Structure formats: C-alpha cells, structure tokens
Amino acid sequence: MHRLYQTGRKSGLVATSVWTNAIHPDDRERAEREFDDAVASRGQYNSEFRIVWPDGDVRYIRSRAHFYVSEEGAPSFIGAEWDVTADVRLNAEAARQRAVAEARALALEQSAARIEYAAEHDYLTGLPNRRLFDKRLAQLAEDPTVSTLAVLHLDLDEFKQINDGYGHSAGDAVLRAAALRIEAGLPKGSIAARIGGDEFVIILVNFTGVDVLQQIARDVQRRLRKKIRFGADLLQSGASIGISWSADRSDANLLAESDIALYHAKAAGRDRIQFFTQQLKDELMAKRQIGEELKLALEGGEFVPFYQVQLDARTRAIVGLEALVRWQHAERGLLVPGDFLKVADEYGLSADIDAAILRRVLKDRRDWEGRGVPVPRIAVNISGQRLYDPHLMEDLLSLDIPQSAIVFELIETIFLDDCDDEMLQSVEQIKQMGIEIEIDDFGSGHASLIGLVRLRPTRLKIDRQLVDEIDTSDEQRRVVKSIIEIAKALGVSVIAEGVETEGHATTLAKLGCETLQGFALGRPVPASEIDGIFVSPVAG
Ligand code: C2E
Ligand code: MG
Ligand code: MG
C-alpha cells in the first residue's frame, strides 16, 4: 500500500517506509496498528500521531480516511491528513492552565480549611475552642434529636502550682494529658472543649438523669487524678466540676450557670462536683441586680465618703482622716463596703467608685478649708483596678491635688500578687504628685517585707486582726513589735487600725506606733459631722 502525500514539501507517491519512518518513534507502533486494523476491517481509518521532519521539527498530524475499491478493483483508502500541531499545542496549554488553576483552588481550599480549623481549635490539645464550643452548643439546642442537654465546667485543681513549680512545658503536658483523658471518659455524641488556661467544658446530650451526669463527672475526675509522667517527675492534678443542665435542651444560661457552680465547687475545696441549684440562681440574680444598681448609683452620685479620725498616739491630736465609702441606697439605706465592693470588683466598677470618692473627698476638703477648719491629710482606699487604670495619672493631674493632702491606702495583697515594674512605676508617679502611699491591712495575710522594701511607702497600717489580741497574746504583741521595728529601720511610719479599747491604744503607743485609728477613738461619720470633731478636743 502506498500513500499519496500532499504536503508543503513534496507531493506524489511515497513508499510506506517513508511514512513509517517519519512517525515519531513513540507513536509509531500504535499508528501502524490502527492502519492495519482499518485495512483488515476495510472500514474507517482515524488516527492522530506525531511525525518528525528531517530537521527535527515535530508536528501533530490528524489522519482520516475510508476504505474503497478503485475502478481497477484495487483496495484503497481515500482521505486526508492535516497538520493539527497548533491545535494540539493550544489544547495542551489550556489543559496545563486548567490543572494549575485546579491545583491553586485546591491549595486555597486546603489553607482556608486549615485556617478555619485553627480558628476553632485549641492548638495545644486539638480540642474545640470556645468559639466552636459556642457554635456546637447552639446547634445542639436546635437539634430535634436532642432531649436533655448539660454543660460540665471543669478546672484543674493544681495546675498553677505545676506550671509555677515545673515550668510551662510541664503545664502543657498536663493539659494535653487532661484533654485525652477527658475525651476518653465521655459517651458518644459528647463534645469536650478547652476554653481557658486550665478550663475545660463538656457538652453532654440525651442522658437519662442527674445520677448519670454525676457518674460521668466522677469518672472524668478519677481519670484526671491519675499521675502523669513528665521526665523524671510524676505530676498529678485533680479537677473541680460545675454542672448545669436542662431537660428541654435550652442552652440559654448553661455555660454561665456551670461556671457559677464551678466557682462554688472550688470554694468548697478540691476535687468537688457542684450542680447549679436554685439557691445559686438566686445569688446570681441578686448579684446581677446589685451590678446594675451599682452603675446607676455611680451616675446618681450615691457613693459618699464617711470619715474616721486618725490620732497621734502620744498627743491624741487629729493627724489624719480615712475616707470610707458608703452607699446611700434609696431603699436599703446606708450600705457599707462589705455589702457591695466585691460585686463592684467583679463588674469592674471599683476604679470608678474610688475615683468618685476621691472627687467627693477633695470637694469636702475645699468646703472645710473655706470655713477655716484645719484639715489634716485624708486617706482614700485604692483598689487594684484603680491602680492599674490607664487613665489614673491623667485623672489625678486634672484634679489639682495639693501637696501632702491625700494618702492612697493600697491593700497589702495588691503588691504581693503583682509587684511588677509597671505598678512600681505608677506608684512612683503617684508619690511625685505629692500623694503619700500607705500599705493597708499590713500583716493580714502575706509577709510583705519584699513589697515594703520595693515600694518604700510613707506609712504602713497594722491590720486590725493583729491589734485585736495585742493585750491578750504575748506572741501577737511580739509580732506587732517586730513590724514596728522593721518599719522604723526602713524609715516607714506606722499606724494601727482597729483600736477598740484604751488598752490597745496605750500598748500600741508603748511599742512605738505613731498613729491610731479605731472605734475607741472615733467611728466613721458623714462629712457633716466632721466640723464638730475638729472643734471639740478628743478625749483620751
Ligand atoms: P479598711 O481600709 O481596712 O478600713 C477599715 C475598716 O475597719 C472600715 O470598715 C472601718 O469602719 C472599720 N473599722 C474602723 N475602726 C474599727 C474598729 O475599731 N474595729 C473594727 N472591728 N472595725 C473598725 P468599712 O468602712 O466597712 O470598710 C471596709 C473595707 O472596705 C476597708 O477596709 C477598705 O478595704 C474597703 N473600702 C472602704 N472604702 C473604700 C473605697 O472608697 N474604695 C475602696 N476600693 N475600698 C474601700
Ligand atoms: Mg483602709
Ligand atoms: Mg485596713
């Protein structure tokens, strides 16, 4: 069989070998087979192959022909072959671009998935984070196959000690182990999440009753109690658990309620389980109400200072006043700090209350001075929130406080917890504004000698618990004596609070305490009663 070629290069009959040799070696066998098949079947011939020109140029050829028998009776194929190189190359390029685009889309999709995963999971334990927890809880609350719904709020008991004592990698190891153990102890369909440092939450669904919840919580506690090997050390951390549940899959307050239950569990000791109860609910409502009322009271100027005198231990002359906040509540009457300061702290309102009291104190002071009353220094109490208030300095500067007119009483625990550079710096700035610094309740909890040395306050105030037994306990008296000696050695003055008897007053004076404050010398009174105190000499 011969082929008739009409190409740009030559025309005429060519031998089959010319055709065969021109075909690209990789396509040759297939092309020949397809031609032979067409001959054998006397049918259609359809092929595509590459040919190589003598100069090495590779072209793509498409060949179409069909069988026929010529007039002379010779079996032949008639058809055409044409150069489709441009087409093929274009298609190949399009396919390549499509592949690149697909790969890019896939990569994008994967990285989007990765980002989404990271946004919803805790990197350390791989558990869902708070965000995913919220989402899942909301989904379950809408899920018609869910009947009962519970949130268990869990906090590792000794985590802080482990972190501080063995380092952060030990802490991380404990958290990872805890995550695995919590998950291992849960029935199918539960969700565990890590929502804070050592805080985990668990969602349980379709449990049959409270006893089942109790059982699961106990089981989780038991698993968590097991020791964890960390290098050469064995670490152990128990867990406290607060539980809130609903029988109609309403999730409205489950997390907040389980948190409150957890708070009570921890307050009762370690390794406890506490359900959210009606009583806790009432407490929560009361707290919320106080929180709301506090905000209104701040706006309405219902916080006023009462003043308690501070006397020179030897002469009994008035050398100072302490301003103590009182809340003039429209319905409940006069409230003392014990009734509202803790809630104010929780609602972040302490700094505002302190600021309001300072403004009132400065106003009272101006009033007294205007009437010719000799005003001694006035001490105000400063909460930790106020001390860390970023607007504190600005606020103080705007108040134009006279030199040595005001004392800031900071409670001892503020320093011990956070005696950091930032705080030392703000204390230094306060001192430079002519405001004295006093450490309140000294000796009430922690040995705060370090705070004393670093802070260099003008004065420290001996806590009333120490004063209370000064006449009945030799040991207590010795403690007070040492405090006074140390203070003197550091150039710090000493005041005592809670002076309830004349005995307290004389003993303290003998021990070298310079200033006294207490019910025996004067109770806190409203500003309107201060004039009278100044006029009449104090008995003693
Ligand atoms: P504190 O600063 O140690 O104030 C002394 C507390 O002891 C006052 O209670 C005072 O009324 C009471 N007290 C005075 N003399 C005696 C006494 O002889 N015996 C006994 N048993 N108690 C005495 P108060 O006014 O209820 O204040 C309690 C605490 O509330 C204060 O303790 C202080 O830490 C805080 N506080 C008071 N006012 C403010 C304020 O404006 N801001 C802030 N942040 N805290 C304040
Ligand atoms: Mg005080
Ligand atoms: Mg005190």
Q: Which of 381, 466, 502 to mutate to test the pocket of ligand 1 (most atoms within 8 A of CB)?
A: 381
For residue range 415-445, list pLDDT tens digits in order. 655 567 778 888 999 999 999 999 998 887 5
E strands, 236-367, where? 239-246, 273-275, 303-312, 318-329, 333-335
For the chain, how far is it from start to end, CA to CA, in angstroms?
140
Residues 6+ apart with CB under 8 A from 492: 452, 456, 457, 458, 459, 460
**E strand or H helix that includes residue 151:** strand 149-156
| Distance in angstroms (rounded) separating the CA atoms of residues 272 and 110 | 43
Q: Is 76:67 a contact under the CB 8 Å cutoff?
A: yes
Ligand 1 atom with the smallest distance to the CA of 409 is 2
Show the tokens assigned to 19: 């055709």
- CA–centroid distance, 400 to ligand 1, in Å, is 26
Q: Is pLDDT above 80 for 455? A: yes
Q: Please state the rounded mean pLDDT for residues 37-43.
A: 87
Q: Is 236 left (phi over 0), alpha (psi -120 to 50) or beta?
A: beta
- CA distances 157 to 216, 319, 373, 428, Å, are 18, 47, 56, 37
Ligand 1 atom with the smallest distance to the CA of 520 is 18
φ/ψ of 501, rounded to 5, equals: -135, 160
Q: Please state the rounded mean pLDDT for residues 219-238.
A: 92
Q: How much is the pLDDT for 281?
A: 86
Total-model pTM: 0.62
Banded pLDDT at 446 (limits 50, 70, 90):
low
Q: Is 415:441 a contact under the CB 8 Å cutoff?
A: no
Angle among Cα 185, 191, 197 to the nearest 5 degrees reads 85
Q: Which CATH number fits domain 286-533: 3.30.420.40, 3.20.20.240, 3.20.20.450, 3.20.20.70?
A: 3.20.20.450
Fold classification of 2-83 (topology level): Beta-Lactamase (3.30.450)
Candidates 398, 476, 414, 475; CA nearest to 446 is 414
Q: Is pLDDT above 50 for 6? A: no
- Percent pLDDT > 90 in the chain is 60
Q: How much is the pLDDT for 9?
A: 47
Q: Please state the rounded mean pLDDT for residues 145-163.
A: 93
Q: How much is the pLDDT for 3?
A: 55
- Percent pLDDT > 70 in the chain is 94
**Residue that is written with structure tokens 């098949």 in the block:** 37
Q: Which residues line ligand 1 (CB under 6 A)?
A: 308, 324-325, 336-338, 341, 350, 353-354, 357, 381, 383, 409, 411, 440-441, 464, 497-500, 518-519, 524
Show the tokens assigned to 104: 């890019």
Q: Is 143:248 a contact under the CB 8 Å cutoff?
A: no
Q: How much is the pLDDT for 416?
A: 56
Banded pLDDT at 137 (limits 50, 70, 90):
very high
Q: How much is the pLDDT for 108?
A: 82
Q: Which of 302, 382, 497, 519 to mutate to test the pocket of ligand 1 (most atoms within 8 A of CB)?
A: 497
| Distance in angstroms (rounded) separating the CA atoms of residues 339 and 371 | 34
φ/ψ of 526, rounded to 5, equals: -70, 160
The CATH code of domain 130-276 reads 3.30.70.270
The DSSP letter of residue 162 is H
**Residue that is written with structure tokens 């030199």 in the block:** 403
Candidates 495, 409, 418; CA nearest to 454 is 418
Q: How much is the pLDDT for 413?
A: 65
Q: Is 457:439 a contact under the CB 8 Å cutoff?
A: yes
Q: How much is the pLDDT for 118?
A: 82
Nearest CA to ligand 1 atom 14: 518
For residue range 269-308, list pLDDT tens digits in order. 889 999 999 888 888 788 888 899 999 999 999 999 999 9
- CA–centroid distance, 497 to ligand 3, in Å, is 6
Ligand 1 atom with the smallest distance to the CA of 411 is 34
Q: How much is the pLDDT for 414?
A: 66
Most confident stretch, 109-113, 197-201, 357-361, 482-486: 357-361
Domain boundaries, the chain: 2-83, 130-276, 286-533
Q: Please state the rounded mean pLDDT for residues 497-526.
A: 97
Quick one: how far is CA 372 from the chain centroid?
53
Q: Is pLDDT above 70 for 448? A: no
Residues 6+ apart with CB under 8 A from 74: none
Q: How much is the pLDDT for 418?
A: 55
For residue range 84-131, list pLDDT tens digits in order. 999 989 999 999 999 998 888 888 888 777 877 888 899 899 999 998
Q: Is 496:516 a contact under the CB 8 Å cutoff?
A: yes
Q: In what order do the strands lie in the sheet with 149-156?
A: 191-196, 199-205, 149-156, 239-246, 273-275
Q: How much is the pLDDT for 305?
A: 98
**Residue that is written with structure tokens 């709301």 in the block:** 292
Among the bound ligands, the one closest to the CA of 344: 1
